[in-house]
Amino acid sequence: MPEITYVAVDGTARSIDVPVGTTVMRGAVFNDIDGIVAQCAGNAQCATCHVYVDDTTIDRLDPARPDEDDLLDFTASPRRPSSRLSCRLTVTAALDGLIVHLPERQK
C-alpha cells in the first residue's frame, strides 16, 4: 500500500498506509487525522479537506481539474500554489511517499 504522510501545523508527521483507489482525504478520516474536516464527505462541495502538498512530492500529481481549482478559492486557510483538495487526490502506487501539510484551519 502507498504511504501518505500527513504533517500537522505543529510539524508532527504521521505516515499512513492508504489503499490504492482511496482518496488522501479518506485515508485521513479513516485514520483519525486531525485537520481534515471533510464536511461534504468527499463530494468536492466544501473545501474542508484542503491540504498543502509538499514541494518534494507535488510533481506526482495531475493538475487540479476546474471544479477543484474553483473551490480552492474558498478555503478557510490561504490558498497557495501547492493547495489541493484531498478528496480529489486518489491514491495510486505513484503517490507512495506523498507528503501533505494540513492548514491551520478548515472552516
Question: How far is the C-alpha of 80 from the C-alpha of 101, rounded, in Å?
Answer: 12
Tell me: pLDDT of 88 over 90. Answer: yes
Q: Residue 87 corresponds to which cell in the numbers above?
A: 478528496
Beta-sheet strand order (sheet of 13-17): 13-17, 3-7, 98-101, 50-53, 83-85
The H-assigned helical ranges of the chain are 24-30, 66-71
Question: How far is the C-alpha of 10 from the C-alpha of 2, rounded, in Å?
Answer: 24
Which pLDDT belongs to residue 25? 96
The beta strand positions in the chain, using DSSP E, are 3-7, 13-17, 50-53, 83-85, 98-101
Tell me: pLDDT of 44 over 80. Answer: no
- Please, are residues 20 and 2 in contact by the beta-carbon 8 Å criterion? yes
Which pLDDT belongs to residue 64? 95
Of 16-20, 43-47, 81-85, give the lowest mean pLDDT range. Answer: 43-47
Which pLDDT belongs to residue 103? 97
Please tell me whether the overall predicted TM-score, pTM, comes out greater than 0.85 for this model.
Answer: yes
